[in-house]
């Protein structure tokens, strides 16, 4: 990037929950850094929240004031109270009229078809906008369709924030292992289950007690089935395998089991053998046949997963050109997810900068 060239990139944000708010704070706080180091001025021209029949939006072609946007949300509950610029445009309306070059899609993950995120992303790509999303749903259901659309339109769709956020699974596969054939991916991909297993081992707890404690701390959901039965791990595995191993997996292709039947006795006897139990998603390609499964496995002290404790996660790629590459990373949080979205934005803008 040539020093001195400053590229103003108008962006919009769909969904305005914790992740979007963290993202706006980050874009605000990093404005000077991004301008000086990357030569980019990110201008948030619009944002929208709500859904179904009721939307709350804010739009200003010259760019919303980010302090005021956050303040409006905090004080009034709805961004549509943003002075002079509030409205009730739907997400699709905002995408179509915004003139933005990039959509940050951070609506909640829905795993029954990926809507409404899927329509948001499809519409944006179709209009020639780049998309960065933290939403697993559309990617699980339509990764290949969306990738093809993005390629035709000459734009990028990045979703590293949807796959274990702070743990850089997608950028490692895309960049660090560029040119490699990835023959296998195995990962501790879910922080909640890893936390529960770690607590059971450390405090000699049964599964139900450890779960209750995690729920009390807000680490496990009130309905924890999605995490503890292994489905969150399976969906992340599907996204990674479909993008990085040229697979076309659906959830029905994955043999899924969770941690709900793990007892302290099992953990203790593994411990006596110098091992630890982890919930692992594993996908392997052999002679173009792909096998994917999620389940509890035992790892010895010498294995890099042994020390992945608490809410930490980890992934191992087996490649032809660079051997095995292990990546371990920290717990997720709205701030880290926003950090992952900023990363995707910058990786995309490195492509696009050269265009202008």
- Closer by beta carbon to a copy of itself, 34 or else 100: 34
Q: Does 84 bind a copy of itself (CB under 8 A)?
A: no
Per-residue buried b or exposed e for 320-330, using 16+ beta carbons within 10 Å of the residue's own CB: eeeeebebebe
Q: Does 323 bind a copy of itself (CB under 8 A)?
A: yes
Q: Does 132 bind a copy of itself (CB under 8 A)?
A: no
In sequence order, which ranges of the chain are alpha helices (DSSP H)?
Answer: 18-29, 31-38, 66-76, 91-97, 117-126, 136-153, 169-171, 191-203, 207-216, 225-228, 231-244, 264-272, 334-353
Question: For the chain, how long is the longest CA-to-CA vector?
Answer: 66
Count of alpha carbons within 13 Å of 119, Cβ hemisphere only?
12
Alpha carbon dihedral 270, 274, 279, 282, in 10-degree steps, equals: -120
How near is the Cβ of 76 to a copy of itself at its closest, in Å? 28
Applying CB under 8 A, which of residues 67, 113, 145, 175 lies at the interface with a copy of itself?
Answer: 175
DSSP 84: T
Applying CB under 8 A, which of residues 18, 176, 275, 291 lies at the interface with a copy of itself?
Answer: 176
328 close to 313: Cβ distance less than 8 angstroms: yes
Q: Does 325 bind a copy of itself (CB under 8 A)?
A: yes
160 close to 231: Cβ distance less than 8 angstroms: no
Q: Does 2 bind a copy of itself (CB under 8 A)?
A: yes
Q: Does 345 bind a copy of itself (CB under 8 A)?
A: yes
Q: Provide the pairing of β-strand 275-286 with 182-188.
A: antiparallel
Specify the stretch interacting with a copy of itself by CB under 8 A; choose among 66-74, 92-100, 111-119, 148-156. 148-156
Q: Does 159 bind a copy of itself (CB under 8 A)?
A: no
Specify the stretch interacting with a copy of itself by CB under 8 A; choose among 202-210, 219-227, 263-271, 332-340. 332-340
Q: Does 102 bind a copy of itself (CB under 8 A)?
A: no
- Closer by beta carbon to a copy of itself, 140 or else 155: 155
* Catalytic residue annotation: 236
Q: How many helices and strands (H and E) does the chain possess?
A: 13, 13
Task: Give dist(CA 312, CA 331) in Å, integer.
Answer: 5
Applying CB under 8 A, which of residues 171, 183, 215, 291 lies at the interface with a copy of itself?
Answer: 171
Enter the tokens of residue 12: 């919009």
Q: Does 110 bind a copy of itself (CB under 8 A)?
A: no
How near is the Cβ of 314 to a copy of itself at its closest, in Å? 8
- Closer by beta carbon to a copy of itself, 49 or else 297: 297
- Closer by beta carbon to a copy of itself, 93 or else 174: 174
Task: Give dist(CA 228, CA 81) in Å, integer.
Answer: 39
Helix (H, G, I), strand (E, B) or coil at 217: coil
Task: Give dist(CA 69, CA 317) in Å, integer.
Answer: 41
Q: Does 7 bind a copy of itself (CB under 8 A)?
A: no
Site string for a copy of itself, 27-56 (x = CB under 8 A): ---x---x----------------------
Applying CB under 8 A, which of residues 6, 263, 269, 307 lies at the interface with a copy of itself?
Answer: 307
Task: Give dist(CA 240, CA 185) in Å, integer.
Answer: 8
Applying CB under 8 A, which of residues 118, 262, 267, 340 lies at the interface with a copy of itself?
Answer: 340
Specify the stretch interacting with a copy of itself by CB under 8 A; choose among 97-105, 224-232, 233-241, 301-309. 301-309
Under the rule (CB under 8 A), what is the footprint of a copy of itself?
1-3, 26, 30, 34, 151-152, 154, 165-168, 171-172, 174-180, 301-304, 306-307, 309, 321-331, 335-336, 338-340, 342-343, 345-347, 350-352, 354-355
């Amino acid at each position: 990037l040539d020093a001195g060239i400053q590229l103003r990139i108008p962006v919009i944000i769909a969904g305005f929950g914790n992740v979007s708010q963290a993202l706006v704070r980050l874009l605000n706080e990093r404005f000077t850094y991004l301008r000086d180091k990357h030569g980019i001025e990110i201008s948030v021209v619009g944002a929208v929240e709500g859904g179904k029949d009721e939307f709350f939006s804010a739009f200003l072609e010259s760019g919303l004031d980010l302090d005021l946007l956050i303040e409006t949300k905090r004080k009034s509950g709805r961004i549509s109270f943003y002075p002079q610029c509030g409205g009730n445009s739907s997400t699709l309306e905002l995408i179509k009229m915004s003139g933005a070059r990039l959509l940050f899609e951070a609506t909640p993950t829905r795993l029954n078809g990926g809507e409404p995120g899927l329509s948001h992303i499809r519409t944006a790509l179709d209009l020639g906008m780049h998309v960065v999303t933290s939403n697993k749903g559309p990617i699980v259901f339509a990764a290949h369709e969306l990738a093809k659309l993005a390629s035709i339109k000459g734009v990028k769709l990045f979703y590293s924030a949807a796959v274990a956020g702070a743990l850089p699974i997608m950028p490692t596969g895309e960049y660090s292992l560029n040119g490699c054939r990835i023959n296998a991916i195995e990962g501790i991909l879910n922080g909640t289950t890893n936390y529960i297993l770690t607590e059971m081992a450390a405090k000699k707890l049964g599964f139900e007690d450890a779960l209750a404690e995690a729920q009390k701390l807000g680490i496990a959901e009130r309905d924890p089935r999605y995490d503890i039965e292994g489905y969150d791990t399976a969906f992340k595995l599907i996204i990674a395998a479909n993008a990085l191993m040229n697979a076309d997996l659906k959830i029905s292709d994955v043999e899924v089991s969770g941690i709900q039947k793990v007892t302290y006795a099992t953990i203790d006897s593994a411990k006596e053998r110098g091992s630890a139990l982890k919930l692992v998603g594993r996908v392997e390609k052999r002679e173009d046949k792909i096998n994917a499964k999620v389940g509890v496995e035992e790892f010895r002290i010498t294995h890099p997963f042994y020390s992945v404790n608490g809410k930490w996660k980890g992934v191992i790629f087996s490649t032809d050109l660079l051997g095995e590459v292990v990546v371990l990373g920290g717990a997720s949080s709205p701030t880290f997810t926003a950090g992952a979205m900023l990363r995707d934005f910058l990786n995309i803008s490195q492509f696009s900068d050269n265009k202008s």
